[in-house]
Amino acid sequence: MKTPPDENQLVRYLDDEMDLAEKNTFEASLAADAELRAEIESMSRLGAVLRSAMPDGRDVPHPDFFNSQIQVRLAEEKQAHVREFHAPAQVGGWLGWMRTPWFAAAATAVIAVVAFGFWQDRHSAPTGLSVVLSTYAPNPSVHAHSFHSGEAQATVLMLDGLASVPPDRQIVGQQVHHSDMDRQVATTPLFSDEGRVLLVRAVDGRNQPRLLEHTR
Amino acid sequence: MPHSLTAARLFFITLMACGGGGVLNGQPAATSFEASPIIRKPATDGKVWGGLIFASPKGKGTGVAKGDLPAGLRDLPVRLGKVFQFAHFELLGQHTQDVFREYESWVVPSKDLFLKVDSKGKAGGGGINLHLQFWQEQQVLVKTDAVLREGSPLFISGPKWRDGQLIFVLMLTMPED
């Protein structure tokens, strides 16, 4: 009785993954078996149709932001896992859920996540320090990256690729004591320590911030 | 404070009235207003200090006076020098600001570079979860999610200017409630 080639062999042949000896053997089988040839042709046609109908890939809009949000989601899930691990079990159910089939896999995953968390903490930012979780620079020529400086005892967000401020431009600082949100007109007056209005933040028609100087 | 709010509202509405709602350089017009109602202080998640620093190879001024800096950040020039290869650090402007729980907050040590701060609640292990937007006039340079913790400042490298660089420093200055 003829031994039919398994599906894996067919796929490997179509994907040209066989070595020469294996390919010769398979093609000898193919020459002798009309049914097998028909199968190969059918699979080949199906592959061609699928390739023509589906693009190889599609660009993700704003890939940096996409990646940063994935990092945020991973961090949130890590925290959720840790909370779940430390959450008290329900009374009467603690032995039951330990016997469930997914417990070993889940426990392994949680232990790995916790171990990774400890490792990451030891190698990036110790507890008690500020942390940058994600960054997104709308201008693609700007590259944002962060690190912790032990010497400076600070977290640093570096923005490479920013355009320089023209040297003749005056950068004027303000000594702002505080600001309040005026919800009635959606503005933010900024006050000096004497209670004098220095600036008023408003928004323009494109919802962009505008800082208006208060002169009188 | 109500007096200041009234002045601010008067100023803003006058500008809007004279400038068509979007033009910002109108002349003030005579307008009368009722007194501001008493506004309840919104809930906050903490307080931040934001400073705009000009780092340069050699400064003309006296640099950052320790008295200008918040407690816990008196050695800011030394700490900045560990990260940014400049000899002189000048404090151009600063702003101490409550971080509102339900509203956006703005930290504006300068009209040129400022920060929008949205609280995302208290962070586990202390500090505040924040969404920050670093603005240069009408352009947002970077958006970031961060955990800001007391005693641990965030240095944001800004654009180059003249022979140096602008640096924004943000620090949580007050223990949370």
Structure tokens at A113: 């996540």
- Tell me the one-letter amino acid at B142: V
- Which is more confident, A15 or A58? A15
pLDDT at A54 over 80: no
Place of tokens 């005579």: B30
Counting one residue from chain A and one from chain B, the pairs whose CB atoms sit within 8 A come to: 236
- Which is more confident, B1 or A16? A16
Rounded Cα distance between B140 and B138, Å, is 7
Residue of B nearest to A173 (CA): B93
What is the pTM for the complete model shown?
Answer: 0.61
Rounded Cα distance between A37 and A27, Å, is 9
Contact B96 A177 (CB under 8 A): yes
CA of A104 to nearest chain B CA: how many angstroms apart? Answer: 28
With contacts defined as CB-CB under 8 Å, which chain A residues touch B113?
171
With contacts defined as CB-CB under 8 Å, which chain B residues touch A156?
83, 154-155, 157
Q: In this predicted model, what pLDDT tens digit does every residue of A158-207 receive, in sequence order?
A: 999 999 999 999 999 999 988 877 666 677 888 888 888 888 888 887 77
Structure tokens at A162: 């920013």
Contact B9 A182 (CB under 8 A): yes
Rounded to 10 degrees, the C-alpha dihedral A117/A123/A125/A127 comes to: 60
- Which is more confident, A199 or A107? A199
Rounded Cα distance between A34 and A199, Å, is 85
Rounded Cα distance between A190 and A97, Å, is 56
Rounded Cα distance between A130 and A133, Å, is 10
Rounded Cα distance between B104 and B96, Å, is 15
Rounded Cα distance between B38 and B16, Å, is 23
Q: Which of A112-116, A121-125, B56-60 has the lowest mean pLDDT?
A: A121-125
Residue of B nearest to A152 (CA): B79
- Which is more confident, A95 or A201? A201
**H helical segments located in chain A:** 7-14, 20-32, 34-53, 63-86, 94-98, 103-123
Contact A209, A201 (CB under 8 A): yes
- Tell me the one-letter amino acid at A40: I
Structure tokens at A98: 């330990």
Compare CB distances from B97 to A135, A178, A185 and report the shortest one's residue: A178
With contacts defined as CB-CB under 8 Å, which chain A residues touch B94?
173-176
Radius of gyration of chain B (CA): 18
Q: What integer is the mean pLDDT of B60-88?
A: 85
Contact B105, B117 (CB under 8 A): yes
Q: In this predicted model, what pLDDT tens digit does every residue of B117-163 receive, in sequence order?
A: 999 999 988 999 999 999 999 999 999 999 999 999 999 999 999 99
Of B151, B99, B143, B98, which Cα lies nearest the Cα of B121?
B99
**pLDDT band per the 50, 70, 90 thresholds, residue A83:** low
Q: What integer is the mean pLDDT of A87-95?
A: 51
Residue of B nearest to A69 (CA): B145
CA of A81 to nearest chain B CA: how many angstroms apart? Answer: 14
Print burial letters for B77-109: b (CB count within 10 Å at least 16), e (below 16). Answer: bebbbebbebebbbbbbbbbbbbbbebbbbbbb
Structure tokens at B55: 């780092």
CA of B110 to nearest chain A CA: how many angstroms apart? Answer: 4
pLDDT of residue B143: 97
- Which is more confident, A42 or A62? A42
Q: What integer is the mean pLDDT of B86-90?
A: 93
Contact B145 A72 (CB under 8 A): yes
Residue of B nearest to A79 (CA): B124
Q: What is the pLDDT of chain B when averaged over all its residues?
A: 81
**H helical segments located in chain B:** 2-19, 76-83
pLDDT of residue A178: 86
Q: What integer is the mean pLDDT of A113-118?
A: 58
pLDDT of residue A107: 66
Q: What integer is the mean pLDDT of B163-172?
A: 97
pLDDT at B24 over 50: no
Structure tokens at B150: 């007391």
Place of tokens 């400049």: B86
